[in-house]
Amino acid sequence: MDVLLNHRTIRKYTDQPIDESLLNEILTAGTRASTTGNMQVYSIVVTRDDEMKEKLAPTHFGQPVFKNAPVSLTFCADFNRFNKWCRLRNAEPGYDNFQSFVAAAIDALLVAQNVCVAAESKGLGICYLGTVTYNADKIIDILNLPKGVVPVATVTLGWPDEDPDQTERLPLEAVVHQERYKDYSEEDINRLYKEKEELDANQQFVAENNKETLAQVFTDVRYTKANNEHFSNVYLDVLKKQGFLK
């Protein structure tokens, strides 16, 4: 519980490597996560080599955390292995569709989060890179992912070389609904976002970006409509190319 409550994203790591045995222990804990019908329709690609880091870095937009991390893990929805098994066992797989991608992506993400909790329980720091779903096409080429395999999350791991404050969260009532979804009134939004908007760090963020409101930093700078639409097309094309969408 303390491990979960103390989570903070770590973007700076020491030079200390992560032992193979420790990594395997963490990955094993990951594979205990729930999985659809116990099919385990996911794979994890480990990046340690400098050569591979160099190749992958641009797909993560050169974020220093990626090059700095001794280990990165790319979690993939993977029906390739399962399909191969089926075909070798006189069974015709019917997993070339969107629902199968969703099941496999869920599998991969539950494992990813278990791996993060396991890593943090061992004192390691982690950082999720959202870029993996933006540049999935390039990552597929670099990691040699065959048809049936799509990257859904990349996590960097390393021994912490910083001790940042926890980032704020909305009050629990902002994200939890009892029995039915209760839509938000203007007053609700004002109340629930008040603390977030008043935080010094967030007010500074608005000023640095020359914006009027914190929301504008998101819509105009960090997650713009143009980028979202571009990367939506990339990811949908990836799902088609990898055999999950017609």
Q: Which of residues 66-105 bind a second copy (CB under 8 A)?
A: 76, 78, 80-82, 84-86, 88-95, 97-100, 102-103, 105
Residue 207 binding a second copy, by CB under 8 A: no
Residues 120-149 that bind a second copy (CB under 8 A): 121-122, 126-128, 130, 133-134, 143-146, 149
Size of the site for a second copy (CB under 8 A): 117
Binding a second copy by CB under 8 A: which of 117, 160, 161, 191?
Answer: 117
Residue 128: beta bridge partners? Answer: 155
Residue 175 binding a second copy, by CB under 8 A: yes
Residue 220 binding a second copy, by CB under 8 A: yes
CB 35 within 8 A of CB 105: no
Residue 157 binding a second copy, by CB under 8 A: no
Minimum distance of a second copy from residue 165's CB (angstroms): 12
Q: How far apart are CA 115 and CA 138, in angstroms?
A: 24
Please say which residue, 20 or 64, places its beta carbon nearer to a second copy.
20
3-state secondary structure of 127: strand
Residue type, 44: I
**Of 23, 3, 11, 41, whose CA–CA distance to 149 is shortest?**
41
Enumerate long-range contacts of 230-234, CB under 8 Å, 24 or more apart.
231/133, 231/134, 234/134, 234/135, 234/136, 234/137
Minimum distance of a second copy from residue 207's CB (angstroms): 15
203: how many CB neighbours lie within 10 A of its CB? 12
Residue 238 binding a second copy, by CB under 8 A: no
Please say which residue, 64 or 168, places its beta carbon nearer to a second copy.
168
Minimum distance of a second copy from residue 15's CB (angstroms): 20
Minimum distance of a second copy from residue 179's CB (angstroms): 5
Scanning 11-19, 60-68, 110-118, 157-165 for contacts with a second copy by CB under 8 A, the matching segment is 110-118
Burial label for 206, CB within 10 Å (0-12, 13-18, 19+), is middle
CB 142 within 8 A of CB 59: yes
**Of 96, 99, 77, whose CA–CA distance to 145 is shortest?**
77
Binding a second copy by CB under 8 A: which of 38, 163, 200, 207?
Answer: 38
Please say which residue, 90 or 207, places its beta carbon nearer to a second copy.
90
Residues 179-198 that bind a second copy (CB under 8 A): 179-181, 183-184, 186, 189-190, 192-193
Q: How far apart are CA 132 and CA 160, in angstroms?
A: 22
